Amino acid sequence: MHMVWKTLGLLGWVITMDMGKVADGAVSENVMKMIGVINSMGPYLGVVVPNTFEMAPLLNSPSFLPHQHLPFLDFAGRRFRIGAVETRKVVVVMSGLSTINAGIATQLLLSLFHIEGVVHFGIAGNANPQLQIGDVTIPHYWAHTGLWNWQRWGDDADDELALESAGDYTREIGYLRFSDYNNNNTTYGSVSTDNFLNRVWYQPEEIFSVDGHPEVRQHAFWVPVDALYLSLAKNLEGMKLERCMNSTCLPRAPEVVMVERGVSANVFVDNAAYREFLRSKFNATPIDMESAAVALVCLQQRKPFIAIRALSDLAGGGSSVSNEADAFAPLAAQNAVSVMLSFVNLTVPHVGAR
């Protein structure tokens, strides 16, 4: 064991000196050695966090214990933090904002390290009028709602989309018709014109499964979370969560709520009409910018995953609580971390991918 710690210390020094020399994205020999040492101490549960303020409550929690000799590895602009939540070994990475950053971070996590499964957590907008700010949602399904086929003006819902016959696009999921929303478009004085934006049709993602044939695409829209993880998470209903931030308190104590669906796109939704559309069209509750990307990568890599999202605002829906996003994002982030930590403690080590 002494030789292991000595090796870790030496490799840590070498990797620190070597990291600045790797500028082309390739994995250097020294980095590969370090990853080999890290993986020899695994397997790990992967934890993906969107941003710094969502990460901070985790790093400040007494439940998170950085590895004594190898607390992190920096690669490709990411810091992979090695440690444990209580006795559960974890690798934690901050993805950054948006689906592309979340997808890249998750793929790097799964490609570099011996990861059994992935837990993703953060804050989200709320499309469900039955829930309140501070509630922590755990959806059964996630979808990316940012891949569209934008139909030309003059075509109707019965008209085939461009490239639909080739199998690239579909009308099965449905559309958003912009002309259903008044844009007060007038030309030449008071003469009203048509809304040329027509429709956008929602599309499934193309996926390429790790155990499938290379370059043979499949499609996925609603991605289910891991069944075992979901069953474990149900034990968290009734968990006590923070209600007040400084001197401002929520109308009731927040709750952990199992919901049917969450959606993600590269859009910060602060618009009541689109919020209501997402709710009525997709039965969505949390609206965020990362979870579906984590879900899609894990689906392709055949790794179990779950996403935990605390509601920080009403996505433009209005509230009796003023300035909800600014006021309650820190409280929501803390509640998300608390639920994530409790979930990790419920997981059983060496749970394989299903």
- Give the C-alpha separation, 251 to 150, whole Å: 41
Crossing angle of helices 291-301 and 99-112, rounded to 10°: 30
* Residues of each domain in the chain carrying CATH 3.40.50.1580: 29-144+208-277+285-346
Stated pTM of the model: 0.88
What is the rounded distance in angstroms from the CA atom of residue 293 to the CA atom of residue 18? 31
**CATH class belonging to 29-144+208-277+285-346:** alpha beta
* Strand pairing report for 218-220 and 305-313: unpaired
Tens of pLDDT along the chain (354 residues) come to 444 444 454 444 444 434 444 455 678 898 999 999 999 999 999 999 999 999 999 999 999 999 999 999 999 999 999 999 988 999 999 999 999 999 999 999 999 999 999 999 999 999 999 999 999 999 999 999 999 999 999 999 999 999 999 999 999 999 999 988 865 655 555 556 677 889 999 999 999 999 889 999 999 999 999 999 999 999 999 999 999 988 778 889 999 999 999 999 999 999 999 999 999 999 999 999 999 999 999 999 999 999 999 999 888 876 555 446 667 889 999 999 999 999 999 996 643 433
Q: Count Cβ atoms within 10 A of the Cβ of residue 323 and give its class: 0-12 exposed, 13-18 middle, 19 or more buried.
A: exposed
CA distance 13 to 220: 43
Q: How far apart are CA 89 and CA 81, in angstroms?
A: 11
Backbone angles phi, psi at 297, to 5 degrees: -65, -45
How far apart (Å, rounded) are the C-alpha atoms in residues 182 and 179? 7
